[in-house]
Amino acid sequence: MERERRWADKGEAIGHGVSWLARWSLRVALAALGFWMVFWIIGKIWVVVMPVLLGLLITTVLWPPARWLMSKGLNSALSATIVLVVGLVVLGGVIAAISTSIASGVPEIAKSATEAVQQAQKWASGPPLNLADTDLDRLIAQGVEQVKSSIGSIASGLLTGAGAVTSGVVTGLVALLLAFFFVKDGMRFTPWLRGLIGERAGGHVTTVLERIWVTLGSFIRSQAVVSLIDAVFIGLGLVILGVPLAIPLAALTFLGGFIPIVGAFIAGALAVLVALVSNGLTTAIIMLIIVIVVQQVEGNVLQPILQSRGLRLHAAVVLLVVTAGTSLYGIAGAFFSVPVAAAVAVVLRYLGEVIEARSVPVMDSAPVMDTSQVDGDEPGKTERSAE
């Protein structure tokens, strides 16, 4: 039987416990300070970190076809160029098809909108409002004056929005260039890293990076499935209600699913708006209910379940990290919170595997007990306990 360490009195035992707690509290505080410094540095260089993260996510989509091309004998540069160009052409074709469908449906929607405005004026002129044409003109004039008085703030907001759009375009272009280089030279990164930091540490780092890469691929696949289901159900709702532009709106819903919060909100708002101007208020209300139900089920049930399976994270963890990321970093936090949490989980699981492999169970017959976890000594140091 293993021998337990005994103390002269309770005061000595309590003092040892307090010392152990103080040592570990200091370690936890220093670790927390280190994590805070990492997040602070990331915030300062976010303009660099953001394109890198986007480039990695784009690379997870481009890498499988690029790897297939390389297996057929093409070099890495040509394979990366082909998959990037084809990807941009496909994306541009989808956007062009959506734009063409929307443009062809604009006259019908404009006609429906004119009829809806006329019906609204007719309804406003009757009970209970009883607004005459002069009253409506006066209200419109007041609205115009209000807009004129707020023209300065509106212009400032437009400039801010234009700056944000420009920054987003630049970030997207840089991410595409980085994705090209990641696809082209990605296979050389882990051997280079292993040679740089040494075989022993490099083996651990490369293994963790490979597992994180697989996790990122699972995130993209699960996000695509969630967006597809969202688009299918909202598209079915549009078709059943007889709303025009159902297919383009469903495609926009699918694309918007990759942009957290804003994408789903804009796609849903467009679907409700088209239903309002083309089919009337009742259809718009029904469409609004469909959009809200689908997005709530997708965001609070379907997405956590699918991502928890693909990323090996519990659904509650996915929901909590998305909430935390949104509150801390807004849209970018909502998008990157799940893959970042999954990457952290990969690192923790690997550390657990290493600790498990290096831990030596103490046999019942061993007269020596390793007290390094209690005394704070270095692992491997043991002391014999005297009864």
Residue 14 lies in a domain: no
Give the model's pLDDT for residue 138: 64
Radius of gyration of the chain (CA): 30
Residue 32 lies in a domain: no
> Comparing C-alpha atoms, which of 142, 200, 172 is closest to residue 54?
172
Q: Where are the alpha helices (DSSP H) in the chain?
A: 10-44, 46-71, 76-125, 133-149, 151-185, 189-197, 199-241, 246-256, 262-279, 281-297, 303-311, 315-358, 372-375
* Residues 139 and 248 reside in one and the same domain: no
* Residues 217 and 163 reside in one and the same domain: no
Residue 21 lies in a domain: no
The number of folded domains in the chain is: 2
Q: Report pTM.
A: 0.64
Residue 376 lies in a domain: no
Residue 318 lies in a domain: yes
* Residues 229 and 314 reside in one and the same domain: yes
Residue 125 lies in a domain: yes
* Residues 72 and 221 reside in one and the same domain: no
- Which mean pLDDT values do the consecutive 10-residue runs of the chain (387 residues) have? 59 82 92 89 83 86 88 88 90 78 68 64 62 59 61 54 64 87 84 80 84 83 83 89 83 76 76 81 87 83 71 75 78 78 86 80 47 43 41
Residue 362 lies in a domain: no
The whole domain housing 111 covers 47-187
* Residues 247 and 323 reside in one and the same domain: yes
Amino acid at 219: F
Q: What sign results for the dihedral spanned by CA atoms 239, 240, 242, 243? A: negative
* Residues 143 and 284 reside in one and the same domain: no
Residue 382 lies in a domain: no
Burial level of 9, CB count in 10 A (0-12/13-18/19+)? exposed
CB 210 within 8 A of CB 186: no
* Residues 74 and 203 reside in one and the same domain: no
Give the model's pLDDT for residue 137: 61
* Residues 127 and 212 reside in one and the same domain: no
